[in-house]
Amino acid sequence: MNKDFTVKFWGVRGSYPTPGADTVKYGGNTSCVEVNAGGRTIILDAGTGIIPLGRELAKKQNLEMLILFSHLHHDHTQGFPFFVPAYMPKTKLHIYGPGGTAETVKHVLEHNQSSDTFPVSLRDMAANKDIQSLRETQVILWGDDGVKVVESSPSPSPEAVVIRIYKSHAHPGGVYHYRITYQGKSIVYATDTEGYVGMDRKLINFARDADVLIHDAQYSDDHYYGCLAGFPSTQGYGHSTATMAGQVAASAETGQLILFHHDPSYADDLVAAQESAAKNIFPDSRAAFERMCIDITPRPFSS
Ligand SMILES: [Zn+2]
Ligand SMILES: [Zn+2]
């Protein structure tokens, strides 16, 4: 059985897509990350990065996929109406995210594709869709018997993918962060979060010892504090600086830190500067770019 555990970035930008000559190096699509764990496909957010990912996935038949929304802001959902596998009748899609009721995710997706705003309704996308809003206390398991949402801390089989949730209030409306564990390795996806004074201690605990931490790093310190010419302070907007991301990674003693949700007004040189700022605090830091791949498959020791 394939035991690979990999991450691939398809959209790394926050707020709105930014095509153009200034964003070629890191890319201009909004948030979408593909995780593969033992042949199972988990998609984190459906910004416009999910559109090229969907074209790749559509080359296969009988797909089963799990899409997890961090939250339902536009830059995390806007690619979904163009996700080709959702139009394929043999696709099984589990679509989970936050919400005040079990129906919230479904209602938002339906609204995004109402007849006034989009030509195809959610119902007319042919895939078999299991859409749910989850509570923070629930755990997602994907084992040999399929995808299940359970209520309590399980002791799953080592072959299962286990996904836990931390609900953060450090973004307007709240946001879910996800920790995906497979074969003893973990990836934490913590986008759209603003660092607290003294850092988010719950996030530090949630991300402790993760192999990969994907963390919001939208702003430079100058921008955040209102010292960047032409830009107001962004304090309170619900996004972090590269410095904040580096501090969380250092405190949580994670493996590599991937800076994510780049500001749409930042050209490639500014995103590169973000990477340098994070490295000053946490040396194993990189700024995410489109098609970047990370392989954390556990390998047996060889002599
Ligand atoms: Zn966002
Ligand atoms: Zn947001």
Give tens-digit pLDDT for 71-114.
Answer: 999 999 999 999 999 999 999 999 999 999 999 999 999 999 99
CA of 1 to the centre of ligand 1 (A): 35
**Closest among 52, 63, 39 to 12, alpha carbons compared:** 52
User: Scanning the structure block, which residue is given the tokens 């799990």?
Assistant: 66
Q: Which residues contact 196 (CB under 8 A, 6 or more apart)?
A: 170
pLDDT of residue 300: 74
Rounded CA gap, 243 and 125, in Å?
A: 42
Residue 161 inside a domain? The answer is: yes
pLDDT tens digits, 211-266: 999 999 999 999 999 999 999 999 999 999 999 999 999 999 999 999 999 999 99
Q: State the ligand closest to the CA atom of 30.
A: 1
CA of 151 to the centre of ligand 1 (A): 28
Rounded CA gap, 162 and 57, in Å?
A: 23
Residue 236 inside a domain? The answer is: yes
Q: State the ligand closest to the CA atom of 17.
A: 1
Confidence (pTM): 0.97
How many domains would you assign to the chain? 1
Q: Which residues contact 285 (CB under 8 A, 6 or more apart)?
A: 242, 245, 246, 249, 256, 257, 258, 259, 275, 278, 279
CA of 14 to the centre of ligand 1 (A): 5
pLDDT of residue 153: 66
Residue 123 inside a domain? The answer is: yes
pLDDT tens digits, 169-194: 999 999 999 999 999 999 999 999 99
CA of 30 to the centre of ligand 1 (A): 8
Rounded CA gap, 263 and 14, in Å?
A: 6
Residue 116 inside a domain? The answer is: yes
Q: State the ligand closest to the CA atom of 47.
A: 1
Give the largest Cα separation in the chain, rounded.
63
Q: Which residues contact 15 (CB under 8 A, 6 or more apart)?
A: 30, 75, 218, 263, 264
CA of 70 to the centre of ligand 1 (A): 9
CA of 55 to the centre of ligand 1 (A): 23
CA of 73 to the centre of ligand 1 (A): 6
**8 Å CB contact between 32 and 46:** yes
CA of 71 to the centre of ligand 2 (A): 7
Residue 247 inside a domain? The answer is: yes
- Domain, as residue range, for 221: 5-295
Ligand 1 (ion): residues with CB under 5 Å are: 14, 75, 192
Residue 301 inside a domain? The answer is: no
Domain with 149 in it: what CATH number?
A: 3.60.15.10
DSSP state of 196: P
